[in-house]
Structure 1
């Protein structure tokens, strides 16, 4: 074999060995790459990105109550605060969220009702008889919205619950107490605004005084306000100077002025709607209780239970919707016994407590 042939054979063998070595050596591109891992690692493939998981798309689970105050506002330690306590209790018992809008004037009633309705609030309360016209309009504008009004009836709207009270009955009881307690035979009454509702307080109170002390005089004045405490104090001082040693009010925040005057001049005041003895424990004789909180809570429960209905809900002596309280302990046993005796007679239907001037003028005190 020639040298040339041997050289060619060696070249061929070297080339073959190189090709074989190249074919057996793994290239990096042939290894499994990270991009080949499951697509679940990609953010775009996460289920949370789907629209159905957005909070806004979940069904509403929390009920919301909206309360609109009258012009007395929260902090009156009377009517509005009592309603707010009812919503607080509903929040505790049923987990219903509560919200409030305070009215600075009657012009705020309609806008506040509409505001809550447009938010689809589950139940909207208008606290006070002055809401009547605004409530009627809102009930018609939002027929599927649930409303409640405190202290008014006769709206005849299927979506409005009407929470009313026998204020004359509770006022009668504190009238009995005042008539027996007075030493001057002069007693005062301060009303907020002269409307039939407030006159129920007046004539019930006067009837209670008359039942036990027909010789006593009841001095009556109206403040034309539910929030002017200074006016309440001014009226109270005038009545006290005229001889009144006990003064009862049905005037919301105006009553704070009465109680301040009673504390300064050392005479007796009678609170209203809720126990007000904490404002002046030594000068608030007792309080006429009007369970606005119970009425508000009752309607809230009907919404939770799914059996809300429009129409009138009456809270009176028979269902403990009205009464009197003595948290400060200023009433003697004989005063409480007398009030309780008349309370049982009212519950039994022995007599009817006057609510108007005509009924008061015709009223003859029962002999118990």
Structure 2
């Protein structure tokens, strides 16, 4: 039976890693393990890899938490530039053969590889983040209502802008990122119809670096800010760091994505210009799948969908400027209630 999990919000941890190199990309094994039936989580990163302060790092935090709590020693592997689906299949199969369970592909690009590897290893649980399809019974599809948190980001932008111009920068022009743009623009327009939303995608494909090029993000943000945008929301993985850098340089607001980017150490010098972040609890999804396999011995499968209702998506409130704005918080509370009770239907495209 395909089950649906409630994704719980989890805190971000840190740990040191010993780095090794494998034939299918650089990898690391944690040093916290004590052994067990499963060696731990096998984690294969999306483009941009670990250190993006966003999507991949959220997955890594769930990986670390599982290692620490369950006394195992997982393994995570970085992607390679210009890799093929065959490379991804090899990476997942290498992890499965070595005894890691669950094995998780971070990002929709792993969809074909997960399908192929799961068929070859029916006793291993596979997970894929940001893709859902009619998979085998040993696959968990970990997906999110990104449009809902993006709607709240749009409300925030509309009530913060002074120029009545805001920007959206997507990493790659694909349906997943269209959800971020659609929710954001709807949130803006539902709040103030006269605001201009400038939208831009960095590349047409991930192979062109849309999720892994801070310089592309910075250049796009410079253009939008030059055209009057004083709040810029980026859904662009590692490229979003360039957007935040440009916003700080021009003393306008950035809205981060996936992780609470206000609290990311690598972005600390820009934090005063990170108003909030549209959160996606990838960390919780990775941890919950690991728990179901390693501790509960009842592997999750099927759609595991994060929403505002179950805490799988939301907005970060670490910046006091955001948190202490009573007018904004009242508007966000009303919008969130509307999404939860169905009176507001957020578009996905």
Shorter-chain TM-score range:
0.7 to 0.9
Please report how far the alpha carbon of residue 154 of structure 1 lies from its aligned counterpart in structure 2 after TM superposition: 0.9
The structure with higher relative contact order (CA 8 Å, sep 6+) is: 2
Q: 2:292 aligns with which of 290, 302, 318?
A: 302
What SS class does the counterpart of residue 97 from structure 1 fall into?
Answer: coil
What SS class does the counterpart of residue 304 from structure 2 fall into?
Answer: strand
Equivalent residue number for residue 16 of structure 2: none
Equivalent residue number for residue 225 of structure 2: 240
Aligned-partner Cα distance in 2 for 1:114–1:63: 15
Q: Deviations over 1:161-219 (max 9, x none)?
A: 11010000000001001011111111100101111111100000000001101111111
Please report how far the alpha carbon of residue 62 of structure 1 lies from its aligned counterpart in structure 2 after TM superposition: 5.3
Matched, 1:101 2:94: no
What SS class does the counterpart of residue 296 from structure 1 fall into?
Answer: helix
1:62–1:141 Cα change, 3 Å:
closer
1:179–1:212 Cα contact (<8 Å) kept: yes
Matches of residues 319-330 of structure 1 in structure 2 within 5 Å? 319-330=310-321
Equivalent residue number for residue 181 of structure 1: 160
1:230–1:254 Cα contact (<8 Å) kept: yes
Aligned-partner Cα distance in 2 for 1:182–1:221: 18
Equivalent residue number for residue 211 of structure 1: 190
Equivalent residue number for residue 78 of structure 1: 54
Q: 2:172 aligns with which of 193, 212, 219?
A: 193
Q: 1:165 aligns with which of 131, 144, 161?
A: 144
Aligned-partner Cα distance in 2 for 1:173–1:201: 11
Q: 1:345 aligns with which of 325, 330, 338?
A: 338
Please report how far the alpha carbon of residue 145 of structure 1 lies from its aligned counterpart in structure 2 after TM superposition: 1.8
Of stretches 104-113 and 340-349 in structure 1, the one that deviates more from structure 2 is 104-113
1:206–1:218 Cα contact (<8 Å) kept: yes
Equivalent residue number for residue 275 of structure 2: 285
1:132–1:155 Cα contact (<8 Å) kept: no
Equivalent residue number for residue 56 of structure 1: none
2:153–2:278 Cα contact (<8 Å) kept: yes
TM-score (norm 2): 0.83
Please report how far the alpha carbon of residue 60 of structure 1 lies from its aligned counterpart in structure 2 after TM superposition: 4.7
The count of residues paired between Structure 1 and Structure 2 equals 298
Please report how far the alpha carbon of residue 98 of structure 1 lies from its aligned counterpart in structure 2 after TM superposition: 2.0
Aligned-partner Cα distance in 2 for 1:88–1:340: 32
Equivalent residue number for residue 38 of structure 1: none
Please report how far the alpha carbon of residue 63 of structure 1 lies from its aligned counterpart in structure 2 after TM superposition: 3.4
Matched, 1:115 2:115: no
Q: Deviations over 1:325-358 (max 9, x none)?
A: 12121211211221121111111222211111xx
Aligned-partner Cα distance in 2 for 1:193–1:242: 22
1:286–1:330 Cα contact (<8 Å) kept: no
Q: Deviations over 1:40-95 (max 9, x none)?
A: xxxxxxxxxxxxxxxxxxx9545321100011100000000001111111122222
Aligned-partner Cα distance in 1 for 2:327–2:342: 23
Equivalent residue number for residue 10 of structure 1: none
Alignment RMSD: 1.3
What SS class does the counterpart of residue 260 from structure 1 fall into?
Answer: helix
Structure showing the higher helix proportion among its residues: 1
Aligned-partner Cα distance in 1 for 2:90–2:202: 27
Please report how far the alpha carbon of residue 309 of structure 1 lies from its aligned counterpart in structure 2 after TM superposition: 3.3
Aligned-partner Cα distance in 1 for 2:164–2:36: 60
What SS class does the counterpart of residue 56 from structure 2 fall into?
Answer: helix
Q: Deviations over 1:145-164 (max 9, x none)?
A: 21000011014211111101
1:136–1:155 Cα contact (<8 Å) kept: no
Aligned-partner Cα distance in 1 for 2:59–2:112: 20
TM-score (norm 1): 0.79
Please report how far the alpha carbon of residue 250 of structure 1 lies from its aligned counterpart in structure 2 after TM superposition: 0.5
Equivalent residue number for residue 227 of structure 1: 212
